[in-house]
Amino acid sequence: MFFYLYLAWRNIWRNKRRSIINIASVLFAVVVALGTRSMQLGTYDRMIENLVSYYTGYAQVQHKGYNDTHSLDESFVANEAFVSHLQGADRATSIAPRLEAFGLVCGDSATMGAMLVGIDPAREAEFSHLARRVKQGAYLEAASRGVLIAAGLAEQLKLGLNDTIVVLSQGYHGTTAAGKYAVEGIVDFPSPELNNRLIYLTLPTAQNLFACENRLTSLAVMVKKSKHQLEMIESVKSLIRDDLKVLSWQDLLPELLQYIQMDNASGVIWLIIIYMVIGFGILGTILMMTLERNREFGMLIAIGMKRGSIRVIVLLESVILSFIGAVAGAIVGAPILLYFFYNPIRFTGDMAQYMIQYGFEPIMPFSLEPMIFVWQTVSVLIIALVVAAYPLFKISKIDPVSALRTG
């Protein structure tokens, strides 16, 4: 095998220009594929992080009927002892008790629908780092009677600090929920969806508003790394009562999951197009190489070299060229992706407004997932093996006499 590798390597550099063009085409295509895939996966990670880290958590404990109705009638009783009990679940880093309901909120000149969320300020700060998102005013304290309002919603309602907001909703078992609260702080989220809909109250204030004493709609659970999600869910399931169930973020955000799956499919199609470009580039080089070396192959066969040995050498040439191009593409692409990972592209002006209107954060993040690099290299090598079928077939059909006569 070493002898075959030696011959293949020598043959590659007999025509340096041809080999360099082939390597350059593979390199360019790999860099484009890396950038495209990194951008796509980075966008997915950012979307998931924005919604999971700041709101849903990687899983939630709910009453079995709540996710279907989102009614306060499907809330459940949970005290501090129960919350602390769940804190012992494997891989669970923090747990945030919530009481959530939709309602109408009114400012001085506008009325909008919003999600009202009752929270334990201390646990929520540990869970979603909500206190860090406060851009005006102060974070809620345990005894607070006011609200935190998301910046986008505050702007639409034309509300500022210490302004009064009126809430009208439906409470537990159809009771009327109404109240007036002072705006104690304004929080700013990177996700437009969260920024235009959330209002936070302390848990006792929310329970009083909705007549839900000691009741919760969910317990959101966070893990340090997403790969620990399934392990955490199984552990939580073993700790909860029979009337409760555990839902993953995929269950809680089916629209986001469907969007990612659809967009990922389009990304795969784009990658296939790029791989086709790589394949045709390699095929062009292989065709030229085969035609130019037709006489050489005929002579080798005439002097007794086995066709199988020639096929192995030609196959190795294709694989070596593709491997060099793929590795060079990964080496060139790595610092580019590294730069954009720490300095994501931020959109401004009309483009930013356009993205916000459609519920996207105006930013283009990148991913450094190692498997991105692995898959590009493996894919290029597979393409090289497929394309190499042509010269292998051609070699099996060569007539030594004709090849020596016509070249």
Beta-strand runs (E) in 107-229: 111-119, 134-137, 147-150, 164-170, 176-187, 198-202, 215-216, 218-223
Instruction: Confirm if 144 and 164 have CB atoms less than 8 A apart.
Output: no
Tell me the pairing of strands 134-137 and 111-119.
unpaired
Sort 16 into a burial class: Cβ within 10 Å, 0-12 / 13-18 / 19+.
Answer: exposed
Exposure string of 228-241, with b = 16+ CB inside 10 Å and e = fewer, is: bbeebbebbeebbe
90: phi then psi, degrees, rounded to nearest 5: -60, 135
Per-residue tens of pLDDT for the chain, all 407 residues? 677 788 888 878 877 887 888 788 788 888 888 888 898 888 888 888 877 887 888 999 999 989 888 899 999 998 888 888 888 888 888 999 999 999 999 987 789 999 999 999 999 999 988 999 999 999 999 999 999 999 999 999 999 999 999 999 999 998 999 999 999 999 998 777 788 899 999 999 999 999 998 899 999 999 888 888 889 999 999 999 889 999 999 998 888 888 888 888 888 888 888 788 777 777 776 777 777 777 777 787 788 778 778 778 878 887 888 888 888 988 999 999 999 999 888 888 777 776 666 556 778 888 888 888 888 778 877 887 787 777 777 777 777 767 666 65
372: phi then psi, degrees, rounded to nearest 5: -60, -45
Instruction: Confirm if 283 and 390 have CB atoms less than 8 A apart.
Output: yes
Tell me the pairing of strands 164-170 and 215-216.
unpaired
304: phi then psi, degrees, rounded to nearest 5: 110, 0
pLDDT in tens, 289-328: 777 777 777 787 788 778 778 778 878 887 888 888 888 9
Roughly what angle, to the nearest 10 degrees, separates helices 16-51 and 370-387? Answer: 140
The sign of the torsion formed by the CA atoms of 249, 254, 259, 261 equals positive
CA dist 98 and 266 (Å) reads: 37
Give the chain's length: 407
CA dist 62 and 52 (Å) reads: 16
Return the bridge partners of 167, or none.
105, 179
